[in-house]
């Protein structure tokens, strides 16, 4: 896990987030235009059955089921109130090096937390499966 990899750092910049919204289902006359989505920190992360999935590059909050009138900034703040990126009071380009490093540290905390939760969920599924196998063996049901 390299906290300063180029791919992760480039998403701090609006233009790079905006480029991800190719094929975004909402455009003109909507509150959730690609520009507003990117401004709110989102990148477009569609799946085969969900073309409107967007994920905050910073806090990793994933939202889908967007409606044309949804305000990306308000939605982001309501679903992820602890996101430091959406709470920024100035543009990334105006941050001091120290401010940027503190921000990046917070971003890494989100990543570690998400990775840890995924690992725990994987372990719990495997443990449940193993428990069922042991119970079947104990009852002679192989």
* Global confidence as pTM: 0.80
- Domain edges within the chain: 6-138
Q: Can you tell me whether residue 1 is helix, strand or coil?
A: coil
> What is the average pLDDT value for the chain, to the nearest integer?
92
134: pLDDT strictly greater than 90: yes
Lowest mean pLDDT among 2-11, 46-55, 123-132: 2-11
pLDDT at position 1 = 57
Residue 62 corresponds to which tokens in the numbers above?
């994933």
Looking at the structure, give the CATH architecture of the domain made up of residues 6-138. Answer: Orthogonal Bundle (1.10)
Distances (CA, A) of 29 to 37, 42, 68, 75, 120: 14, 19, 8, 18, 43
In the predicted model, is pLDDT for residue 10 greater than 90? Answer: yes
For residue 139, is pLDDT > 90? no
pLDDT score recorded for residue 48? 86
Q: Which helix (H) or strand (E) holds 63?
A: strand 62-63
The mean pLDDT of 98-120, rounded to a whole number, is 93
For the cut 70, the answer to whether the pLDDT of residue 108 exceeds it is yes
57-82 residue pLDDT tens: 999 999 999 999 999 999 999 999 99
As a whole number of angstroms, the distance between CA 117 and CA 61 comes to 14
Give the number of C-alpha atoms closer than 13 A to the C-alpha of residue 71, restricted to the C-beta side. Answer: 5
Question: How far is it, in rounded angstroms, from Cα 110 to Cα 105?
Answer: 9
Residue 20 has pLDDT above 90, yes or no: yes
Q: Rounded CA gap, 103 and 88, in Å?
A: 9
Mean pLDDT of 21-40: 93
Flag whether pLDDT at 135 surpasses 60: yes
């Amino acid at each position: 896990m390299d906290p300063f990899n180029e791919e992760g750092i480039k998403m701090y910049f609006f233009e790079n987030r905006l480029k991800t919204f190719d094929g975004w289902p909402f455009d003109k006359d909507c509150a959730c235009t690609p520009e507003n989505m990117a401004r709110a920190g989102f990148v477009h992360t569609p799946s085969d059955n969900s073309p409107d999935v967007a994920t905050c590059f910073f806090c990793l909050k994933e939202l889908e089921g967007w409606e044309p009138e949804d305000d990306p900034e308000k939605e982001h703040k309501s679903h992820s109130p602890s996101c430091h990126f959406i709470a920024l009071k100035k543009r990334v380009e105006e941050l001091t090096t120290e401010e940027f490093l503190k921000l990046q540290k917070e971003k890494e905390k989100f990543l570690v937390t998400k990775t840890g939760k995924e690992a725990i969920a994987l372990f719990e599924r495997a443990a449940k499966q193993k428990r069922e196998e042991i119970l079947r063996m104990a009852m002679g049901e192989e």
